[in-house]
Amino acid sequence: MSRIAKKPIPVPEKTQANYASGVLTIKGPLGELKKSFRSEIKIEISNNEISLTPIRSSLDVLALWGTYASHIRNMLEGVNKAFEKKLIVEGIGYKSDVKGNQLHLALGFSHPVQIEIPTGLKVTAEKNIITVNGIDVETVGQFVAKVRSLKKPEPYKGKGIRYSDEVIRRKQGKKSV
């Protein structure tokens, strides 16, 4: 049983929510998000609150109940206040730069790495910090994880790409006697 989904989700001011034929549309000051939901969870919108109720009581439907509530909360938060994630590029010769709709990275490979920035995301690169902003938490998280996977931080010198709040456990290395 989901405790998250039992409570109705309040819709903030300046935000409109509409549910029709399995698609939830949320419009806010920063943009519009649409997401399709399965019919096993009944979604009702009344007097600025969204309530979710499962139609049948099976294990997979109860798991979807809380997941859908979290998705809706993320959508409501995203259209009112954009999500932001920061990456730190550490290492000698490691550089990041945004040119047009591409992120150019020099990560010690024999070639520069170019990544296409998805629509709806705003990416800035200053010195060694890459900042990603967007209204969809899934797109922001997926893009940041893709960039980080190009050069994960290594434990000896800490070189690589890491999240700004991530702590790298350092290893000591070889000892000379």
Assign 127 to helix, strand or coil: coil
Pair 70, 141 in one domain: no
Pair 70, 30 in one domain: yes
Query: What is residue 176's predicted lDDT score, i.e. its pLDDT?
Result: 73
Task: Find the domain containing 50 and state its range.
Answer: 3-80
Q: What is the mean pLDDT of residues 163-171?
A: 90
User: How many domains, the chain?
Assistant: 2
Q: 111 forms bridges with which residues in the sheet?
A: none
Average pLDDT value over all residues in the chain: 91
Identify the CATH number of the domain in which residue 26 sits: 3.90.930.12
Pair 74, 135 in one domain: no
Residue 65 forms part of a structural domain? yes
Pair 73, 102 in one domain: no
- Residue 137 contacts residue 83 (beta carbons within 8 Å): yes
- Residue 75 contacts residue 24 (beta carbons within 8 Å): yes
pLDDT tops 80 at residue 2: no
Residue 177 forms part of a structural domain? no
| pTM, 2 dp | 0.88
Pair 115, 74 in one domain: no
- What would the pLDDT profile of 94-139 be if each residue is shown by its tens digit? 999 999 999 999 999 999 999 999 999 999 999 899 999 999 999 9
Residue 172 forms part of a structural domain? no
- Residue 144 contacts residue 161 (beta carbons within 8 Å): no
Amino acid present at 84: E
